[in-house]
Amino acid sequence: MPGLLRKTYTLEEDLTPVIKGEVELPNIEDLEQHRVLSHIASGGHSFTPKWGYSKIDGHKTWTFFFLFHNQAGGLTGEGYAVRYSSGVEGARTMRFAICKHEKQGGSGADPRRGWHPGHCKLCGLDMTVDSGD
Ligand SMILES: [Zn+2]
């Protein structure tokens, strides 16, 4: 779908193939287990938890996903994946991303008021952050 800019990712169209292990887990970044768990502990209320399978190098295995949202409440196509392992090292903990978003600032930014409009220049995701009150 080249050239098609989309604003948000949906569970049905975008994330379901990932969390069913129908496609390879995209753009994996391994993270330490304690770091992932700590972020889930503090910010878990803002993630969407989904259980399923991840596919890595053609192998499907039980995985718990925590999907990220943007400030507008839509899915960003990113998340944490906690992948089962029977080995002594335990679960493999990762970040994944359908798109490695690159933010392009929008017009009208007002950093002093915490207003940072923008979108991903690759996929069009709304990456606006409003940390003001
Ligand atoms: Zn993007």
- Residue span of the structural domain in which 123 resides: 102-133
> Looking at the domain assignment, is residue 6 inside a domain?
no
Specify whether 110 is located in the same domain as 46. no
Specify whether 86 is located in the same domain as 57. yes
At 109 the pLDDT is: 86
Contacts of 83 by beta carbon, 8 Å cutoff, 6+ apart: 54, 56, 61, 62, 63, 91, 92, 93, 94
In percent, the amount of the chain with pLDDT more than 70 equals 94
**Separation of CA 42 and ligand 1 centre (Å):** 25
**Separation of CA 78 and ligand 1 centre (Å):** 10
**DSSP secondary structure of 40-102:** HHHHGGGSEEEEEEEEETTEEEEEEEEEEE-TTS-EEEEEEEEE---STT--EEEEEESS---
Specify whether 65 is located in the same domain as 23. yes
pLDDT, one tens digit per residue, over 58-114 is 999 999 999 999 888 899 999 999 999 999 999 999 999 999 999 998 888 888 888
**Separation of CA 31 and ligand 1 centre (Å):** 21
**Separation of CA 101 and ligand 1 centre (Å):** 4
Residue 31 has φ and ψ, to the nearest 5°, of: -130, 155
Q: How many CB atoms lie within 10 A of CB 22?
A: 12
**Separation of CA 98 and ligand 1 centre (Å):** 8
Is pLDDT at 132 greater than 80 in this prediction? no
> Looking at the domain assignment, is residue 44 inside a domain?
yes
At 39 the pLDDT is: 95
**How many structural domains is the chain composed of?**
2
When comparing pLDDT for 1 and 10, which is higher? 10
Q: pLDDT band at 1, cuts 50/70/90?
A: very low
Q: Does the model's pTM come out above 0.75?
A: yes
At 133 the pLDDT is: 62
At 101 the pLDDT is: 95
Specify whether 49 is located in the same domain as 112. no
